[in-house]
Amino acid sequence: MKRALSAAFVALALLLTACGGNSLDTAEGETVTVTGKFGEAQVPLGAERVLPLSPQDADMVISMGVAPIALPTDTNILVSTNGVGAWPWQVDALAGMGYQVLPPNPGGGVDALLSAGDKEIPTLLFEGDPQSYVEQIVALDPDVIVATGQWSLNERAYEQLSSIAPVVHFDEQANVEPWQDSTRKIGKALGREDEAQAAVGSAEADLAAVRAAHPEFEGVNFNAVIGDLNGQLYILAGEDRGIGMLMNDLGFQLTDWAQTVPTDADGRGVISYEYVAQLDTDIAVVISPAGDIDYMRDNEQWRNLSAVQRGSVVSIARNSGVPNALGFPSPISLPWGADRITNALSTAVSRTS
C-alpha cells in the first residue's frame, strides 16, 4: 500500500513540477532559510499558500494573521466539535480575520475542499503517517508546509513533502520545543517575525495577568493524570511538556516525584496502579474522556488520597478541547484554555488550607 502511495506521489509531484511548481518559485529566487531536524527549508519570500499539518501549527500560523489554505483535523477533533473539525479558538481567531471554516465534505476528496471561496477555509482530514496523504497535499499546491507540531513526521515523509514545498519543522521532536520558539520560527519563515513576536507577547501577557490575579497559585504542588492505557496510567512527568507548561506559567510546581517517573517515547510518565498513592499532593489534575474520572474513582488508593478527600481535584474533559488547548500550546490556544480552567484551579487550591 505504501509503495503504491509513494508511486502515486512521485507521479503527482512530477506533474506539478512540469506545470511550473509553486507560484512563488520566482526567477529572483529570494528565500528565507529555516533549519530543522531533517534539513533546511528554503521558503519563498512572501509565501502565501501556507499549509499546516497539525492543529498546533495551524494555531501558530493563524496567530500571526495568516489564513492557512486548509485546517488539519482528525477524528477526535471532529467528534469534540460536533463535526466542525476546528477548535473554538481557531474558529474565533479566523472569524476575527473575516474567514469562515467549512466542515469536511461527507463525500470526501480534495476536489470538494478546493472549491472553497476566497473567504472560506476548509478543514482537511489528516490522520496517520504523512506519507498516506501526500496526494491531498500535492493537490492543495502549498507554497510552504508547516510541521513543527506534526508527531508522525519522519525523515522519509520529510523528503517526500519537501519535494512538494519547503517544510518548516521541529529541531528535535514535535511538541517538545517551547511554543514560543516554534511560533517565532514559523514567523521567520513566513516573513512575519514582528507578528509572531507580538502574538507570543500577547499570550504571555495574558498568562502573566492570570498569575497576578491568583497569587494563591504560587508554589502549590500538583500532579496530573493524563489517561489510562491497558491498566497503566499516563501522568505528567515534566513541567516543560503539555499542560505542565501552563501550570508552571501560572505559578504551580510539579511534584519532584513525578519528575523521576520513567517516560515513554513521547515524554509521558508511565506508572502502574500500585503507585497511585504516590500521586498525593496539594492538588491533582485529571484528564478523562468526558469529564468523569471513573477510571480513577474505582481505585482505593486514589479515593484515599488527601487531595481527593479534600476535593482538590480538577477534572478536565478531553472532549471539551481544553486538554488540546493546553497540551498543544499556541498563542491562541493558551489564553482560551487558561480562561476555562482558572476557576476550577482556584477552587481546588482553596480547599488545601
**Average pLDDT of the residues in 161-179:** 92
Phi-psi domain of 121 (left: phi exceeds 0; alpha: psi -120 through 50; beta: other): beta
268 Cα distance to chain centroid: 16
Mean predicted lDDT score pLDDT of the chain: 86
Model confidence pLDDT, tens digit, residues 35-68:
999 999 999 998 999 999 999 999 999 999 999 9
| 281 and 191 in a common domain | no
Grid coordinates representing 41 are 527549508
What is the pTM assigned to this prediction?
Answer: 0.86
Residues 6+ apart with CB under 8 A from 144: 41, 43, 44, 47, 49, 50, 51, 165, 166, 167, 168, 189, 190
Is there a single domain that holds both residue 125 and residue 17?
yes
Look at residue 12 and tell me if it is in a domain: yes
Q: Is 232 found in the same domain as 154?
A: no
- 117 against 238, higher pLDDT: 238
pLDDT for residue 338 is more than 50? yes
Instruction: Count Cβ atoms below 10 Å from residue 145 Cβ, excluding itself.
Output: 27
Alpha-carbon torsion, ordered 268, 158, 5, 108, to 10 deg:
70
Whether residue 32 contacts residue 189, with contact meaning beta carbons closer than 8 Å, is answered with yes
What domain range includes position 226?
214-350
The confidence score (pLDDT) of residue 104 equals 77
- Band of the pLDDT at 17, cuts 50, 70, 90? very low
Predicted confidence at residue 308, as pLDDT, reads: 94
Instruction: Give the CA distances from residue 62 to residues 65, 68, 288, in Å, rounded to whole numbers and listed in that order.
Output: 5, 7, 28
Q: Is residue 301 part of a domain?
A: yes
From CA 56, how far away is CA 329, in angstroms rounded? 7
Q: Show the cell assigned to 30.
A: 529570494
Distance in angstroms (rounded) separating the CA atoms of residues 152 and 331: 23
Record the cell numbers describing residue 280, joined without a space: 498525593
pLDDT over threshold 60, residue 260:
yes
Residues 103, 38 share a domain: yes
Q: Rounded to an integer, what distance in angstroms lies between the CA atom of residue 34 and that of residue 45?
A: 12
Beta partners for 225? 235, 286
In a shared domain, residues 299 and 176: no
**Shared-domain flag, residues 179 and 137:** yes
Q: Is residue 208 part of a domain?
A: no
Residue that terminates a domain, selected from 177, 203, 229: 203
Q: Are 196 and 218 in the same domain? A: no
Residue 164 forms part of a structural domain: yes
The reply to whether 23 and 90 lie within a common domain is yes
Each residue's pLDDT tens digit, 298-335? 889 999 999 999 999 999 988 899 999 999 999 999 99
Indicate whether 228 and 167 sit together in one domain.
no
Last residue of a domain, one of 174, 203, 232: 203
For residue 209, is it within any domain? no
Give residue-wise pLDDT tens across range 227-253: 887 778 999 999 888 899 999 999 999
- Counting the structural domains of the chain, the total is 2
In this structure, the answer to whether residues 315 and 254 fall within a common structural domain is yes
Share of the chain above pLDDT 70, in %: 87
CATH code of residue 291: 3.40.50.1980
189 or 150, higher pLDDT: 189
Q: Max CA-CA distance within the chain?
A: 70
Domain boundary among 203, 231, 258: 203
> What's the chain look like in SS3?
CHHHHHHHHHHHHHHHHHCCCCCCCCCCCCEEEEEECCEEEEEECCCCCEEECCHHHHHHHHHCCCCCCCEEECHHHHHHCCCCCCCHHHHHHHHHCCCEEECCCCCCCHHHHCCCCCCEEEEEECCCCHHHHHHHHHHHCCCEEEECCCCCCCHHHHHHHHCCCCEEECCCCCCCCCHHHHHHHHHHHCCCHHHHHHHHHHHHHHHHHHHHHCHHHCCCEEEEEEEEECCEEEECCCCCCCHHHHHHHCCCEECCCHHHCCECCCCCEEEEHHHHHHHCCCEEEEEECCCCCHHHHCCHHHHHCHHHHHCCEEEEEHHHCHHHHHHCCCCCHHHHHHHHHHHHHHHHHHCCC
Whether residue 329 sits in one domain with residue 290: yes
In a domain, 266, yes or no: yes
Radius of gyration of the chain (CA): 21
Nearest to 151 by CA among 57, 240, 81: 57
Residues 299 and 269 in one domain: yes
